């Protein structure tokens, strides 16, 4: 008896005439080209090389498959002075945006209606570059449809982080696109917390000019969520890009990060940690291209999985011809707290220069029995001992956060999260 084919979902639209008509000429052209890309590429499937570990149906279906409840705000950064921007159900709050010394803060919806605006050279352009060599049709869909998002242009050294906090409930289907430009010598920190939507398609495009610094911290939570995020970044000479993501409890997450180091002596770090329990699927897919001399990149990912949770890591370092003195480091590790959980890894190096130092590694393991016995022999309960070893395991990824205060806030949050499990 033949096996029946799995029913394919009704697919989400890739264009919207209302969005097109509300955009100025350059934005309409950018959106039209994005629609053409998406239609030409088609939506991803498990047959695609970089989707074989993650089922994309939840991201490409016409209807949101979940209903979520409003989550209370995690007071991770409550002691931190910040500039706050709020989103609700995927929409930027109608309130006044913060006034930030050294940074222009605008709405994407307004910026794409202006004939002359600096984002015309960035919006959808880094996403376009990121389509090669791997197609990312859902990022193109975002460029075609997004009207919600913030436009940030850092021109100086920001005294406090900018934090975007999002809340959502019901069947909110969020499409959000942020465009960020860090000018030469400027420095900024962006923090993202909360949930843009029950389902979310997020794109962040970041252009870091020569000697600029961009720091990014993201906390993803919420059980009834399907999150697909993309970061596309371009780094100039002696620039710095650092991104850290903490994920817990989200049902399905795929975080993609595509970095291009185009200026000599640039430095990039992408790091993350996740705590997965039960029906939890978490996918980090990272592509770093070295196209300049004496650049350094680091990929550091730690996943703690239990009760059948699944973790995925796909990381690639591409060193182009002429990108001598490249230092590329990649490590992905999982801590499996039972026999039902699974970690799937695909680390890659592709090198066309001969004077480089590149390495990659991927490991899976259980709790160290000797370390557990040591803690238990000193009166520590089994649960507490496992929690301590879990925190020790993810510490390497958290240490990639530049700001010690923010790193401590993340560690304290994880400690509390483990205590209530």
Segment 63-90, tens digit of pLDDT:
998 888 877 777 788 778 999 999 999 9
**pLDDT at residue 22 tops 80:** yes
Question: Tens digit of pLDDT for each residue in 314-363?
Answer: 999 999 999 999 999 999 999 999 999 999 999 999 999 999 999 999 99
**pLDDT at residue 130 tops 90:** yes
Q: How high does pLDDT run on average in the chain?
A: 94
Task: Return the percentage of the chain with pLDDT > 70, whole number.
Answer: 97
Task: Return the percentage of the chain with pLDDT > 90, whole number.
Answer: 89
Q: What is the CA radius of gyration of the chain?
A: 21
pLDDT of amino acid 90: 96
pLDDT of amino acid 401: 97
For 154, counting Cβ atoms within 10 Å of its Cβ (0-12 exposed, 13-18 middle, 19+ buried), the class is: buried
Domain ranges for the chain: 17-367
How large is the average pLDDT for residues 94-119?
95
Lowest mean pLDDT among 144-153, 192-201, 368-377, 410-419: 410-419
Cα separation of 136 and 61, whole Å? 16
pLDDT of amino acid 390: 94
Q: What is the largest CA-CA distance in the chain?
A: 70
Question: Tens digit of pLDDT for each residue in 270-282?
Answer: 999 999 999 999 9
User: How many residues are there in the chain?
Assistant: 421
pLDDT of amino acid 41: 96
pLDDT of amino acid 389: 94
For 176, counting Cβ atoms within 10 Å of its Cβ (0-12 exposed, 13-18 middle, 19+ buried), the class is: buried
Bigger pLDDT: 4 vs 182 = 182
pLDDT of amino acid 393: 95
**pLDDT at residue 5 tops 60:** no
**pLDDT at residue 1 tops 60:** no
**420 — pLDDT class (breaks 50, 70, 90):** low
Which H, E and C letters describe 234-281, residue by residue? EECCCCEEEEEEEEECCCEEEEEEEEEECCCCCEEEEEEEEEEECCCE
**6 — pLDDT class (breaks 50, 70, 90):** low
Helices and strands per DSSP (H, E), number in the chain? 9, 19
pLDDT of amino acid 222: 78
**pLDDT at residue 8 tops 80:** no
CA 74 to chain centre: 19
Write phi, then psi, for 226 (nearest 5 degrees): -120, 115
**String of DSSP letters for 77-109:** TTTS--EEEEEETTEE-SSPPPPBTTEEEEEHH
Pair type for strands 103-107 and 150-154: antiparallel
**304 — pLDDT class (breaks 50, 70, 90):** very high
pLDDT of amino acid 7: 57
pLDDT of amino acid 66: 85
Question: What does the block give as tokens for 237?
Answer: 């000479």
Cα separation of 180 and 190, whole Å? 10
pLDDT of amino acid 72: 73
pLDDT of amino acid 421: 62
Cα separation of 160 and 152, whole Å? 14
**pLDDT at residue 2 tops 70:** no
pLDDT of amino acid 223: 75
């Amino acid at each position: 008896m033949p096996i029946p084919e799995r029913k394919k979902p009704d697919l989400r639209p890739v264009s919207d005439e209302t969005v097109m008509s509300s955009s100025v000429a350059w934005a309409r052209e950018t959106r039209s080209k994005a629609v053409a890309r998406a239609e030409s590429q088609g939506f991803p499937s498990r047959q695609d090389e970089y989707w074989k570990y993650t089922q994309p149906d939840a991201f490409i279906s016409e209807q949101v498959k979940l209903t979520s409840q409003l989550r209370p705000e995690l007071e991770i950064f409550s002691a931190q002075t910040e500039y706050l921007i709020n989103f609700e159900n995927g929409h930027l709050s109608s309130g006044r945006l913060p006034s930030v010394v050294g940074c222009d803060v605008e709405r994407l919806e307004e910026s794409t209606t202006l004939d002359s605006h600096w984002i015309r050279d960035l919006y959808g352009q880094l996403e376009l570059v990121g389509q090669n060599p791997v197609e990312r049709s859902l990022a193109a869909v975002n460029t075609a449809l997004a009207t919600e998002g913030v436009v940030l242009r850092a021109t100086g050294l920001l005294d406090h982080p900018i934090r975007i906090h999002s809340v959502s409930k019901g069947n909110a289907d969020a499409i959000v696109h942020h465009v960020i430009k860090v000018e030469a010598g400027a420095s900024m920190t962006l923090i993202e917390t909360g949930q843009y939507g029950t389902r979310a398609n997020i794109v962040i495009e970041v252009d870091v000019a020569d000697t600029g610094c961009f720091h990014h911290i993201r906390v993803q939570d919420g059980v009834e969520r399907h999150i697909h995020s993309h970061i596309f970044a371009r780094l100039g000479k002696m620039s710095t890009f650092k991104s850290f993501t903490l994920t817990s409890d989200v049902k399905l997450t795929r975080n993609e990060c595509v970095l291009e180091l185009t200026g000599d002596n640039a430095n990039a770090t992408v790091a993350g940690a996740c705590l997965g329990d039960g029906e939890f699927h978490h996918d980090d897919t990272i592509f770093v291209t070295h196209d300049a001399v004496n650049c350094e990149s680091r990929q550091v990912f730690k996943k703690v999985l239990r009760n059948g949770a699944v973790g995925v890591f796909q990381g690639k370092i591409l060193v182009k011809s002429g990108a001598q003195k490249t230092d590329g480091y990649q490590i992905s590790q999982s801590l499996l707290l039972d026999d039902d959980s699974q970690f799937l890894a695909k680390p890659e190096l592709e090198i066309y220069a001969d004077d480089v130092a590149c390495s990659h590694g991927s490991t899976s393991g259980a709790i160290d029995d000797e370390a557990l016995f040591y803690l238990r022999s000193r009166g520590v309960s089994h649960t507490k001992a496992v929690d301590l070893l879990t925190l020790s395991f993810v510490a390497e990824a958290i240490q990639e956060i530049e700001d010690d205060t923010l790193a401590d806030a993340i560690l304290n949050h994880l400690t509390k999260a483990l205590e209530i499990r």
